[in-house]
Amino acid sequence: MTETPIKLLLVDDEEDSRRSSAKWMSRKGHDVTDVSNAAEALGLLERESFDVGVFDMNMPGMSGLELLQRVHQDDIDIEVIMLTGQGTVETAVSAMKMGACDFLSKPCALGDLEYHCFRARERRDLKKENKQLKAVISRTRPAAKMIGQSKSLREVAKMIDKVAPTNKPVLIQGESGTGKEVVAQAIQQASRVAGKPFVTVNCAALPENLVESELFGHQKGSFTGATAEKPGLFEIADGGTLFIDEIGELPPSLQPKLLRVLEDGSLRRVGCHRQRKVKVRIIAATNRDLQTEVDNGNFREDLFYRINVLSISLPPLRQREGDIDRLINHFLPKSHHLDDAAREALNAYPWPGNIRQLINVIERATILADEFDITLDDLPSEIVDHGHAPESAAASDNVDATVEPDPPHPRDMLGDSQYKLDDVARVHVLEVLESENGNKAGAARKLGIHRRKLYRLLDRFTGKSKEPDRIDESACESVL
């Protein structure tokens, strides 16, 4: 049996019985509040949270059964034990049907009372854990691994090892797509609450009027569309970690409420006056410079210092030497092969969208690739052209802009080291297209390639492929 103290509410109009029970339970180390009537008990339940309530069934005014009914109508998080001096099977069954977890007859041995209160508290904890697990399953994604061995990433890993064992707030800063949520998950997995809920919310992805309800929950009827009571993410994450992504987008009106939760763990649902207590570790992330936001009056200074107790800065992908290859190998399906030219182009690109952009490019290439072989033709033009841009700019300085020299014939280019394979392919493709009077289907047949591949080549060479929305299926079949 656990020895953690129980927060207990005793409701009984018989003063001697109530006081003796309260005194004995208090001596045993429990946090006990006792009142003589149901109306006073309801007032307490609106303001405070209790683990267990012991209600006398027969009281003047509102009875214990009516109080139990109100508790369940208002969805108050408390387990109730009914107590009566006139116990019958019928009254016990009635109380259990209304939601009581136990039923005791007066006079009740004080040791039995404590035992049944422990059982009631355990039932409450199990119900709460079950609710959390269901919510976590629907809201969280599988944890991702940190891929890379660059010096900058190793520094991040060291910082994770240092901050994870604490329960202090962590602020993760970095450009979009650098893997801030992956780092948050790594912190959770290495923390003391690794088996507890890890719940995420993206402030930038929610309309401003829904952020408060999502974070703190709401009562039924508290606003238009609130057709049912809903716990907030803080309640769902109770005992675990709440990851607040893009915290710089948090509306100014909600920043004081977040600060209050960080300071003492207290919150109120929208439309509810009852205060609730939670114990949640906050990990926040942003791609903004929050100090600048503070200076500009867009973010509270006291909240900034509260979430910035521990800080981790993520390096952009372009600064992670050697990690691009490792990431390519991790995300590239084993069924596909990436040729050397395409791999070189991917490594040379600066990746303004970081890891998220790299993943999208690889997924695109696997879809477009013929026979599972990924080449330059399957990469976006901005990646392929990135390495050629300086040479093109330098060449333009030495050529009269008003005169366009005739392109050489492919035969004249063969064996000449000043021409790259891409240059030969461009001249050849455009010449074949011209010989077919612009007929792309005919040009594709002559070149021995799929018509869609011709569109990709033209898009790369000229940016003017103008691929139609519908492709003539018979023409495609004639090329295959």
Nearest to 383 by CA among 353, 345, 410: 345
What is the mean predicted confidence (pLDDT) over 43-56? 91
Q: Are both 310 and 328 inside the same structural domain? A: no
Q: Are both 422 and 457 inside the same structural domain? A: yes
Q: Are both 219 and 296 inside the same structural domain? A: yes
Handedness of CA 85, 91, 93, 97 (dihedral sign): negative
Q: Is residue 248 part of a domain?
A: yes
User: According to the model, what pLDDT value does residue 394 have?
Assistant: 42
Structure tokens at 405: 């020299």
- Domain final position from 315, 339, 370: 315
Q: Are both 222 and 237 inside the same structural domain? A: yes
What is the mean predicted confidence (pLDDT) over 11-30? 92
For residue 388, the SS3 value is coil
Check pLDDT > 60 for residue 459: yes
Check pLDDT > 70 for residue 471: no
Q: Which residue has the higher pLDDT, 477 or 83?
A: 83
Residue 34 backbone phi and psi in degrees, to 5: -125, 140
| CA distance from start to end of the chain | 73
CATH code at 66? 3.40.50.2300
- For the chain, the domain total comes to 3
Q: Is residue 183 part of a domain?
A: yes
Residues 323 and 150 sit within 8 Å (Cβ to Cβ): yes
For residue 408, the SS3 value is coil
Q: Are both 258 and 360 inside the same structural domain? A: no
DSSP at 393:
H
How much of the chain, in percent, has pLDDT values that exceed 70? 85
Q: Exposure string (b/e) for 265-290, b if CB count within 10 Å is 16 or more?
A: eebbbbebebebebebbbbbbbbeeb
What is the mean predicted confidence (pLDDT) over 464-479? 38
pLDDT, tens only, 262-294: 999 999 999 888 888 999 999 999 999 999 999
Phi-psi region of 102 (alpha: psi -120 to 50; beta: other; left: phi over 0): beta
pLDDT, tens only, 378-409: 999 999 888 664 444 444 444 444 444 555 65
pLDDT, tens only, 225-256: 888 888 899 999 999 999 999 999 999 999 99
pLDDT, tens only, 94-110: 778 888 888 888 888 89
pLDDT, tens only, 199-212: 999 998 888 888 99
pLDDT, tens only, 56-74: 988 888 988 889 988 888 8
pLDDT, tens only, 300-323: 999 999 999 999 999 999 999 999
Distances (CA, A) of 305 to 166, 180, 311, 312: 17, 19, 11, 14
Q: Are both 306 and 325 inside the same structural domain? A: no
CB atoms within 10 A of CB 167: 12
Q: Are both 165 and 309 inside the same structural domain? A: yes
Check pLDDT > 80 for residue 92: no
User: According to the model, what pLDDT value does residue 132 have?
Assistant: 75
